[in-house]
Amino acid sequence: MPQKRRPIVRRPVPEHYAQLAQDMPAIAARVCASRGITRRDELQHTLDRLPPFDQLRGIDAATALLQEAVEQGQRILVVGDFDADGATSTALALRALRLMGAQQVDFLVPNRFEYGYGLTPEIVAVAAQRNPDLIVTVDNGISSLDGVAAARAQGIKVVVTDHHLPAAELPAADAIVNPNQPGDTFPTKALAGVGVIFYVMLALRSRLRRDGWFERSGCAEPNLGQLLDLVALGTVADVVPLDQVNRTLVAQGLARLRSGHASPGLLALLEVSNRQPGRLVAADLGFAVGPRLNAAGRMDDMSIGIRCLLSDSLEEARPLAQTLDQLNQERRGVEDEMKEQALAELRRMHLEESTELPLGLCLYDPSWHQGVVGILASRIKDRLHRPVIVFTDSGPGEIKGSARSVPGLHIRDALDAVAAHHPGLLAKFGGHAMAAGLTLKQADFESFRLAFDAEVKRQLGPQPPVHELLSDGELSAQEAVLGLAETLRFLAPWGQGFPEPLFDGEFDIVQQRIVGEKHVKLLLQWADSKNTVDAIAFHADLQQWQGAGGRVRLAYRLDVNEYRERKTVQLIVEYMEIPEGTAG
């Protein structure tokens, strides 16, 4: 399928950008103003700017139970999720509880291939074999009605900490901390699971301090700031919106990583990712470290990743990080094969023009790997710019789907609407605005496919949304200098909801060559200057680039390339088109 032409739309620049420009380069001020920044101090990501933990509903009940468990030496079992947010949440909970004097604390993460997601009755049965007094869920639990009931029926207390959207009925847990639960007044609803448990641990430390626990026990009061590297990784990897609170958490975690004070497990993951801690940015966590950690849950067992994050030395962490790197390579191979199969299926449908595809697209193959369907859904969504759900077999007569959405469609709410209009069609579902998971009977796939497409059309209209590229404008050769690239790199944590600056302009191709089999390395000349600049297009459409010669229009990010201790400006090409009226 050829790449569709996408409109490049330049962001409007608010008038207040001129005030910001008094404290920073004009282009940086323009970028920040268009992302809602009104004052320079909003980019000062200090911990004293975080909202207090007591605004979280249920936090007093949760910390009372945790305090009792710590002080009485009860057995605490942390039940996590099998993605990077779940792994960092689990590791953070164990590290924090141990630092505060918990003597009997362990973790359990469901293997996605055996138990599926969350605190299910089956996982409770496994947990009960360890005789816990208290189960603490991290990054899951808000939809685990049956699992919580099963635990409490066995006399196990349950604290749910989660960030996913709740259903109409909440589980009957002893305490629930979730900024998205009804009645919660916490000022942000965008915390990742790791952010929620970090706040719970802050509240627990405050409670233990108030009641004199640290003096009585002889346990030194811990600096929980040392865990912010885990918060940063989980927040970025879970692709939650980087609002002011999340930017602060990520910025603080990145500061620890850059200073070399990260946990040994994270440092080992940076090593195998070929990333230098001193130059680390949020994108490195999202595109290099996060996928390696996620690979454990996708291909094998997330316990490997959690043990890496819990390692107390580099010598202990390195073999685990290398295993994660190998699993990630295996994941890439499986993903590439599945993607080719999916694209072949679309071609077999004879729907080369994406406007003819179902607006809500469902794909199913019983041979696809359960752990990779989410990534495949994301890749197809990016290519076709429409909501996509990818299914594979998950048990006798049952299929499991992973959904990814586009701006304008809340995917979990769309699934909720399908379930309401077609009772019994979905066995279970849950998720966020942009990602969700679901299970249904294999025999119901065709019915669901039609119902989902109809619901997407009802919400978005009959035509697919326009896949615009939002640009921060054009840069001249004189503006695109190393100083600006460095300023933008470290100005703020860029990510979901606070996107990295993207520029556009026309260039002449001086040289181009394929590197690494799938990337295009370029030497470009600015259209308005004789100056040249290096550029690279990662995971490029090689067929499209082979037809490109002469002038091209690009959307690109300004980056710093480091080679043999020499820094130069480099453009990271996100999109290319041949201007109309020019030869290819």
Q: In three state form, how does the secondary structure of 198-243 look?
A: HHHHHHHHHHHHHCCHHHHHCCCCCCHHHHHHHHHHHHHHCCCCCC
Amino acid, single-letter form, for residue 149: A
Tell me which DSSP letter residue 3 carries.
P
Binned at pLDDT 50, 70 and 90, residue 300 comes out as: confident
Q: Which phi and psi angles does 136 have, rounded to 5°? A: -120, 115
Report the percent of the chain where pLDDT is more than 90. Answer: 72
The answer to the question of residue 503 being in a domain is yes
Q: Per-residue pLDDT averaged across 251-270, rounded? A: 95
Q: Are residues 267 and 352 in the same domain?
A: no
Binned at pLDDT 50, 70 and 90, residue 582 comes out as: low
Q: What is the pLDDT of residues 14-45, one digit of tens each?
A: 888 888 988 889 999 999 999 999 999 899 99
For 35-181, list the strands marked E by DSSP. Answer: 75-79, 104-108, 134-138, 157-161, 175-177
Q: Are residues 304 and 425 in the same domain?
A: no
Confidence at residue 90, expressed as pLDDT on a 0 to 100 scale: 97
Instruction: Find the range with the poorest average confidence among 130-139, 292-301, 566-575.
Output: 292-301
The answer to the question of residue 2 being in a domain is no
Q: Are residues 250 and 349 in the same domain?
A: no
Which of 145, 162, 152 has the alpha carbon at shortest distance from 79? 162
- Going across the sheet that includes 388-395, the strands are 361-364, 388-395, 398-404, 435-441, 428-431
Amino acid, single-letter form, for residue 407: P
The answer to the question of residue 331 being in a domain is no
Residue 414, domain CATH = 3.10.310.30
Q: Per-residue pLDDT averaged across 324-350, rounded? A: 83
**Those residues with Cβ within 8 angstroms of residue 503's Cβ, 6 or more apart along the chain or in another chain:** 471, 472, 473, 474, 475, 480, 555, 556, 557, 558
Q: Are residues 280 and 416 in the same domain?
A: no
Q: Are residues 360 and 450 in the same domain?
A: yes
Q: Are residues 296 and 181 in the same domain?
A: yes
Q: What total of structural domains would you count in the chain?
A: 3
Q: Give the range of the structural domain holding residue 95, as residue numbers without chain letter.
A: 48-326
Count of beta carbons in the 10 Å neighbourhood of residue 131 = 11
Amino acid, single-letter form, for residue 341: Q
Q: Are residues 441 and 503 in the same domain?
A: no
Which of 375, 350, 380 has the alpha carbon at shortest distance from 363? 380
Q: What is the pLDDT of residues 131-167, one digit of tens each?
A: 999 999 999 999 999 999 999 999 999 999 999 989 8
Confidence at residue 43, expressed as pLDDT on a 0 to 100 scale: 92
Q: Are residues 130 and 243 in the same domain?
A: yes
Burial 240-268, CB ≥16 within 10 A → b, else e: bbbbbbbbbbbbbbbbbbbeeebbbbbbb
Q: Per-residue pLDDT averaged across 313-342, rounded? A: 91
H helix or E strand, kind and range, residue 457: helix 445-460
**Those residues with Cβ within 8 angstroms of residue 67's Cβ, 6 or more apart along the chain or in another chain:** 204, 207, 208, 211, 213
The answer to the question of residue 79 being in a domain is yes
Q: Per-residue pLDDT averaged across 39-52, rounded? A: 93
Whether 112 has a pLDDT exceeding 70, the answer reads no
Q: Per-residue pLDDT averaged across 92-99, rounded? A: 98
Tokens for 73? 């030496």
Question: Quick check: 23 and 41 in contact, CB under 8 A?
Answer: no
The answer to the question of residue 553 being in a domain is yes
Tokens for 396? 């006798």
Which of 301, 254, 291 has the alpha carbon at shortest distance from 269? 291
CA 501 to chain centre: 19
Average pLDDT of the residues of the chain = 91
Q: Are residues 199 and 315 in the same domain?
A: yes
pTM to 2 decimal places: 0.90
Strand partners, 510: none
Q: What is the pLDDT of residues 543-559, one digit of tens each?
A: 788 767 788 999 999 99
Instruction: Find the range with the poorest average confidence among 99-113, 359-373, 388-402, 540-554.
Output: 540-554
Q: Are residues 451 and 474 in the same domain?
A: no
Q: Are residues 140 and 233 in the same domain?
A: yes
Question: Quick check: 178 and 142 in contact, CB under 8 A?
Answer: yes
Tokens for 542? 């090689």
The answer to the question of residue 408 being in a domain is yes
Question: Quick check: 237 and 285 in contact, CB under 8 A?
Answer: yes
Q: What is the pLDDT of residues 387-422, one digit of tens each?
A: 999 999 988 999 999 999 998 899 989 999 999 999
Whether 97 has a pLDDT exceeding 60, the answer reads yes
Of the three residues 439, 460, 481, the one that is the final residue of a domain is 460
Question: Quick check: 499 and 470 in contact, CB under 8 A?
Answer: yes
The answer to the question of residue 289 being in a domain is yes
Q: What is the pLDDT of residues 237-250, one digit of tens each?
A: 998 999 999 999 99
Helix spans in 259-402 (H)? 264-272, 282-284, 290-299, 303-310, 314-348, 373-384
Give the Cα separation of 505 and 554 in Å (integer).
6
Residue with more model confidence, 366 or 118? 366
Binned at pLDDT 50, 70 and 90, residue 299 comes out as: confident
Confidence at residue 384, expressed as pLDDT on a 0 to 100 scale: 86
Of the three residues 415, 430, 460, the one that is the final residue of a domain is 460
Tokens for 280? 């680390």
Residue 203, domain CATH = 3.90.1640.30
Instruction: For residue 185, count CB atoms less than 10 angstroms from its CB and return exposed for 0-12, middle for 13-18, buried for 19 or more.
Output: exposed
Confidence at residue 455, expressed as pLDDT on a 0 to 100 scale: 95
Residue 479, domain CATH = 2.40.50.460
The answer to the question of residue 101 being in a domain is yes
Tokens for 189? 């609803």
Of the three residues 460, 487, 507, the one that is the final residue of a domain is 460
Q: Are residues 262 and 366 in the same domain?
A: no
CA 289 to chain centre: 11
Confidence at residue 341, expressed as pLDDT on a 0 to 100 scale: 84
Binned at pLDDT 50, 70 and 90, residue 560 comes out as: very high
Which of 463, 433, 465, 472 has the alpha carbon at shortest distance from 574? 472
